[in-house]
Amino acid sequence: DAKTTQPNSMESNEEEPVHLPCNHSTISGTDYIHWYRQLPSQGPEYVIHGLTSNVNNRMASLAIAEDRKSSTLILHRATLRDAAVYYCILRYTGTASKLTFGTGTRLQVTL
């Protein structure tokens, strides 16, 4: 599996935008970029995914670099409920397959 690199932790103020970076320099053309988050004492939650183009949904936006070697998850207005560990995962598009979680970025949101 191609590897991703994320900062261990980040802090944000409530109601400010948050940009969570992810490097994936060995990404292949068939890898989708997936983001999940895990709130305390809960299971992981799907956030967003994309291949080449930027993506938006009700939770977040995903900005993908032109060379696809990095991406950024954007939370437009962080709230206290967004405090979680955020995981950037590459997923092979060929068949249904496992997700391989790294250590993720622990996001702290303060008032």
Partner 1 sequence: NAGVMQNPRHLVRRRGQEARLRCSPMKGHSHVYWYRQLPEEGLKFMVYLQKENIIDESGMPKERFSAEFPKEGPSILRIQQVVRGDSAAYFCASSPTGRVSDYGYTFGSGTRLTVV
Alpha carbons 88 and 6: distance in angstroms, whole number:
8
Cβ closer to partner 1: 14 or 34? 34
Strands annotated E in 14-104: 18-23, 31-38, 45-50, 55-56, 61-64, 70-75, 84-92
Give the pairing type, strands 70-75 and 84-92.
Answer: unpaired
Determine, following the binding rule CB under 8 A, whether residue 7 of this chain makes contact with partner 1. no
Output the smallest distance, CB 100 to partner 1, in A. Answer: 6
Nearer to partner 1, 96 or 111 (CB): 96
Interface with partner 1, residue 100, by CB under 8 A: yes
Q: Residue 51 Cβ, how far from partner 1 at the closest point, in Å? A: 7
Within 43-82, the residues that bind partner 1 by CB under 8 A are 43-49, 51
CB of 15 to partner 1, least distance (A): 26
What Å distances lie between residue 102 and 4, 38, 48, 52, 90, CA to CA?
7, 12, 17, 22, 10
Residues at the site binding partner 1, with contacts judged by CB under 8 A: 32, 34, 36, 38, 42-49, 51, 91-104
